[in-house]
Amino acid sequence: MIWLNMDSSTLVWIALLMGLAAALYSTVGHGGASAYLAIMALFSVAPETMRPTALALNLVVAGLGVWRYGRAGQINWRLLAAFVVTAAPAAFVGGGISIPPEVYRPLVGVVLWAAAIRLFWQPVRLAGRAPSPPSLALALPVGAALGLLAGLTGTGGGIFLSPLIILFGWEDARRTSGVAAGFIFLNSTAGLAGNVAAMRALPADMPWLVAAVAAGALLGTWLGAARLPKPRLLQGLGLVLVIAGAKLIFA
């Protein structure tokens, strides 16, 4: 296990920022990998350390999300399974496709911003719609497309799945967060399992980071699973999409 020669104050700042990111992202069922990557880049963490660290922390936060949303009965397991069964192999394929980032990242970022604008606009009306789940014939190809996009962008795919579910009215805001948490957890597990060698690049200070994001996730999932009104959840998701879109466009 490796880490840069950082003083304790720097580590505290990294852990604090990651904990705050986990609290925000987990409120809407997301793991926060894109935020962890941005934080580590800000502190000049070695590139070979960043990706496995972000994926492992993503797994912790999404796992807590599955636990919390599952206990609250806020996961549509059938919908989750319909997406995951095709998303996982498609993500594997997407990860092996070499496309210059400047070709697709700005476009994907703009799409996320457009989705965020829609979530900020009339969230009460959007949250009040009765959900109408997609048919299996539609969910399977959608899952494949999401998996391919997740593989191309190196994300868990939740930033694409959540707005799609909300904007098409396939589930309500709270259960969308539960489905996203499960989707991200399974994708992150597959990502780590497919690259065991990268585990050696995890930092020696990993337990401190895990503790920080776990604390943030416990707060965020507590708010998201039962406390925050659904319109506020949609606005929280919009904020997450703005951040994720900015990272894709400007990183």
Q: How far apart are CA 189 and CA 196, in angstroms?
A: 11
Q: What pLDDT, on a 0 to 100 scale, did the predictor assign at position 134?
A: 96
pLDDT by position in tens, the chain (length 251): 445 556 788 889 999 999 999 999 999 999 998 899 889 888 888 877 887 888 889 999 999 999 999 999 999 999 999 999 999 888 878 777 777 878 788 888 998 999 999 999 888 888 888 999 999 999 999 999 998 888 777 677 888 999 999 999 999 999 999 999 999 998 778 767 766 666 676 778 889 999 999 999 999 999 999 889 999 999 999 999 999 899 888 87
SS3 4: coil
Q: What pLDDT, on a 0 to 100 scale, did the predictor assign at position 182?
A: 94
Q: What pLDDT, on a 0 to 100 scale, did the predictor assign at position 7?
A: 76
Q: How far apart are CA 168 and CA 119, in angstroms?
A: 12
User: What does DSSP assign to residue 131?
Assistant: P
